[in-house]
Structure 1
Amino acid sequence: MQAASPSPYGEDEDQEKSAEPSNFNDGKGIKVSLCFTPLLLPLTNGKKCRKNAKATPENRVFFLHEDQTLQNLVDRAIDSINKTDKLTYCVGNRSGLFAGDNFTLKYTINCSDSKDIQITNLMDFANLINEIKQLNPPAAGFKLFMNDASADLKLNSMDSLHQEHGEDDDEDSDEDDQENPTKKKNSGPTPEELSQNENIARLTRMYACKDWSCKFTTCYPMPPDVTHIHLTHLHLNTWAAAIGAKENGVDLEHPPNTKLFDPTFNDPNDIALLSHHRLLTVNQNQPAPPSIIINNDFKDLAAAMQGHHNPLDHPPPGVNPPPSQPTHQPIRAALVPKMTLAAFCDYYELHLIIEGKLNELNITGPHALHFVSNQQLADEVRLSVGELADVRDAQERWLLGGWQSSQ
């Protein structure tokens, strides 16, 4: 119930409007932005209420004269949300204490440090009005938060009920997953993955290659002859996983004893090794390619252009000219136009794996293969016998102009 009594500050609490116009908002008064949080609606049968659930707040705006009272503020707020039959309060005649039977009041003044100040008596309301007057903004206003206390009590009782029955938020998360099947949980890396990543980082820093003649950035100097083994992602992952598994004799200075880290490993069933030996045999049995000699003699041409004549061309009278010798025109070889590596592999139907291996060593086309030996293609490019045979066959067809026959 509401208790109407004379204000201790000499104001008439039943007065709705002051005789003088307001000094704020063009005479309208202080702007009040009301935010009322109502009670949660009752749930239908078979449905559960989520933990920390909140009802949708109701927002209203009205103006209040600076000479009006706390009772006027509360009445205007209750009338704006049509809760006059549900929300009740009382104000003490002597103490001036304000007590809402089923709601609470808080305010926040715009453009100030006064935030979430609870109104518990008439003095709190007087401080609110005095602070707005001291700030004297042209558009004075404050936010009034009115929360239904029944809603807070119900939420607290639901929390205690969850704790009593041992329920947690797992059901809520399961419901969220069912409602949003595309929603995925962000799971971080496992401790084993973190440890393996740390070992990979240590190995990368530890074996950064400082040999300027080496074309790789990360190498392991394999004893005893310090042979460089290029540490690829497969090497680093294998080494780090062996360290994490605590394999015998494996640490940051000793790699696992596998074929991957042994350049001298000879496996009779190794296809790459057999291909390498087969390639050497094929190269030894192949005849030497024909040599083409190109003679470029521009001496006589330069003399003719400069007007110099040989005295034997016009001998004096009575002198027989020397017998003429057959003129041999030099053979001039035409340069084969260059092709890109991608066009070369595509035209001669070379496998993408071959193209990737050649591209890794920055071979730009078939014209560059002329300067690369079979030994280098087998050792550094890691071409098998069949792959090397396909590359050399395509190169020979390119030299003979086979690419022009289709044009």
Structure 2
Amino acid sequence: MSDDAMDSQYTGNHDDNPESQYNDGKGIRYHVSLKLLPPPLKKGEKRRKNQRIDNINRTIYVHEEESLADLLEAAIQAVGYGDKLLFKVVSKDLRASNFTLKWSISRTDFKNMQLTTTDHFDEMVGEATQKGTPAVKLDFVEFEEVANDGDSDDEPSTSKKRKLTEEEELMAETISQLKAAYNCSDKTCTSPVCYHGNPNGEHVRMTPILLNTWASAKLAGIEGVDLEHPPPDKMFQPVEGADDVDDIALLARRRNQANQASKSATPTITINNDFAGLAQLLRPDHAMAPLAPTQLAPMPRIPSPVKPVQMSFAAFCLAANLHPDVATKLEILEIAGPHLLEFIENSILDQYLSVGNRAALRYAESQWKKGLIG
């Protein structure tokens, strides 16, 4: 029978839990599906397109009061990948190194929901237990971890690696021994390797710098330094107040304390209303003398514009001292007076007058409008 068809019943409940209210006391039914990576290629082999990879399917029952970590351990054990699918739950976050996880509940809108926090887990359990026979589908998808050296299984590296010196091999071996000795199994810790040999048993993250410092001191033969005793350096002592930044509750408390401190430090503004002497100023003997009325200078009189004098066209030509030909040649146009000149276009005047006489006529017209001719 293929893995696709296999369906076993695995119970991941702890003995100290009360009997479950669901599925005849067995708990929530989980259908676990694991999609595996394709097998590694051999040298010179190419991967086929649309290569079919069988999924591993199992059915387990887990008590509704179990934690997210308990559920994942039961599911991973059920599919037989307990030593391959690695995870930690730290500060409500699921940290999986080589798989993703989604959940679905049939006949609901909850399809392919991300499961990356304990809040997601609580939502999943809450929605599942609303049904008479709660059942959830868990989909694990394995993915390949990124190699530190950048090598790829599909394209094997052809470059030759440099052979380590004896000193480098000793350093690497010592660092491996330190990592193995101080592998942190605390699920609430965010570091895989921690030194906690200080008096308070507090965790100190073993960063690459600390590992190299410790290994170098041991290989140098510094007195008192071995796999159990680090160099006498402050780096290996816990920093006071350096708590795990993933502790959300701690960060919330710190922010609340900071807000309270800022409120208490707010300066108090005091307004002093000192009305002393105001009554003295309001007494009759301090009344201000009335101001003398301001004498306004008379507005200058603006003379009214001079209106042009009404006259005949012949009288206008005579008063403007125009050439006699102007009045004679324009007599045919029967112009009653200078007030009609603005309605006669120059093209008409040019049929009877020279350019000079027409210009003189227009100038005289402008002077007449100003009241200067009459």
Per the shorter chain, which TM-score range?
0.3 to 0.5
TM-score (norm 2): 0.34
User: Is the radius of gyration larger for structure 1 or structure 2?
Assistant: 2
Q: Which has the higher helix share?
A: 1
TM-score (norm 1): 0.32
